[in-house]
Amino acid sequence: MKDLLRTNSSLHEGIEKLLNLQSKIESDASNKYLAMASWLDRNGYANTADYLYAQSEEERMHFLKIFKYITELGGIAITPTIGEVQQEFRSLKEVFEIALQNEIAVTHAINKIVAKCRAENDYATEEFMMWYVREQREEEKNARRALELFDLIDENAPSGKFELDREIAKIGAAV
């Protein structure tokens, strides 16, 4: 049955594999942001928590978009298993340092898919992935901006944490 279906799909197996990997990466990203939001919430950072709850939802959408694309092309979309995610953080700043590193890693993974699409002449998937290329540019920029705010606002000033919580959350609102 699987082989029969495979003959009806133009999706290259190597690309299908990378897309399934990417869907897991996006699903993990959603869970990572959820854990960050939970930590922020229980440490009094209500605004940045909301920002990352929303970010978690966005990542869930990124995951589903790829998941459905695989099926649309006749591939087999594999439901990702839920991996362990970091639940505790040392500080507000560490949350955003990790967020930026995660986003950079996602960008590299997406670039890998685009490169593979070019090698296999899969123009449909390359075009589909361009949405992710643009999205990553935005997400990296936002994560970088959050870290910049730590240079502008002294976290240890009397209301530094309060201000950072308010200003970082505005990055999401501005998008």
Q: Which tokens hold the place of 28?
A: 């993990």
Asked whether position 103 contacts ligand FEO by CB under 6 A, the answer is yes
- Are the CB atoms for 66 and 22 separated by under 8 Å? yes
| Interface positions, 125-154, toward ligand FEO (CB under 6 A) | 139
Q: Pick from 29, 49, 77, 171 the residue near ligand FEO by CB under 6 A.
A: 29
Nearest distance from C-beta of residue 114 to ligand FEO, angstroms: 15
Q: Which residue is nearest to ligand FEO (CB)?
A: 62
The phi, psi pair for 77, rounded to 5°, reads: -80, 120
Residue environment code for 68-107, b if the CB has 16+ CB neighbours within 10 A, otherwise e: ebbeebebebeebeeeeeeeebeebeebbbebbebbeebb
Asked whether position 59 contacts ligand FEO by CB under 6 A, the answer is yes
Q: Pick from 106, 113, 164, 169 the residue near ligand FEO by CB under 6 A.
A: 106
Asked whether position 62 contacts ligand FEO by CB under 6 A, the answer is yes
Asked whether position 26 contacts ligand FEO by CB under 6 A, the answer is yes
Q: Which tokens hold the place of 1?
A: 């049955």
Give the Å distances, CA to CA, from 139 to 59, 87, 121, 134, 157: 11, 21, 28, 9, 28
17 vs 134, beta carbon nearer ligand FEO: 134
* Contacts with ligand FEO, residue ranges (CB under 6 A): 26, 29, 59, 62, 103, 106, 139
